[in-house]
Amino acid sequence: MNVIIVGCTKVGVILATDLYVAGHQVAVIDNDHNAFSNLPKAYNGITVEGVAMDISVLEKAGIFESDALVAVTEDDNFNIVVAQLAKRKFGVSNVVARIVDSVRENFYQELGLKTVCPTNIESATIFNTVTGEAFDELVEFGNRKARFVTREDSSWTGKMVCDIPLFKGELVYAVIDADGEIELAYDRSRIIMSGEKVVFTSLAD
């Protein structure tokens, strides 16, 4: 699959690396050339410097051949504009925008856009952690659903996040420490400590 990622943010770096390692063709767009230095050596895909609303930048990233575009900058409005551009002008059917404002997420979904709201996901994760309930939940994004499940295994103690065995299609989303504090798994070299739980995410069938 050919995927364009707009925004070499922490989320963009993890997503680009995981997709590339999984065998997909990936292009990352960012207007700050220095941001690409955050990509690990494991990533050997395309990087394009420029503003993703610029047609020539999207073309350089391979928009005509792309199967999906994901906008994960820190600016909700920018993500939505780029998502609409990819969907309506270039006909990319699989377009996802990261939206932090949970109130606006429903509005954008009504426009037919797929959105991911980390605010809602984190809130649900923390709720289940605080109440002590087992966390195994489906969250709907547009016309797809993602599953978030928490597991604990003593054999993971002392291992890095990147070394935790995954089921097919899974990604590590977060780590919950022994005190119940949740930490998003941006740092793949983070060491799992005794008593910590790991939150995994995957697309539901």
Mark whether 112 and 135 lie in a shared domain: no
The last residue of a domain, from among 116, 136, 151:
116
Mark whether 15 and 54 lie in a shared domain: yes
The last residue of a domain, from among 59, 83, 116:
116
pLDDT of residue 101: 74
pLDDT of residue 119: 67
Distance (Å, whole) CA 163 – CA 180: 22
List all residues 6 or more positions away from 110 whose beta carbon is below 8 Å from its beta carbon: none
192 pLDDT higher than 90: yes
For the stretch 97-150, pLDDT in tens is: 888 776 666 666 666 677 776 666 666 666 665 665 545 666 665 566 777 888
185 pLDDT higher than 70: yes
**Which domain range does residue 170 map to?**
119-203
The last residue of a domain, from among 71, 91, 116:
116
pLDDT of residue 82: 94
Mean pLDDT for 34-41 is: 92
Mark whether 11 and 84 lie in a shared domain: yes
pLDDT of residue 188: 86
pLDDT of residue 92: 92
What burial letters (b/e) apply to 55-69, b meaning 16+ CB within 10 Å? eebbeebbbeebebb
For the stretch 158-177, pLDDT in tens is: 999 999 988 878 888 889 88
Query: Measuring CA to CA, which residue among 190, 188, 199 is closest to residue 129?
Result: 199
Q: To the nearest whole number, what is the mean pLDDT of the chain?
A: 84
Number of domains in the chain: 2
CATH of the domain at 111: 3.40.50.720
Mark whether 94 and 34 lie in a shared domain: yes
Mark whether 101 and 129 lie in a shared domain: no
CATH of the domain at 127: 3.30.70.1450
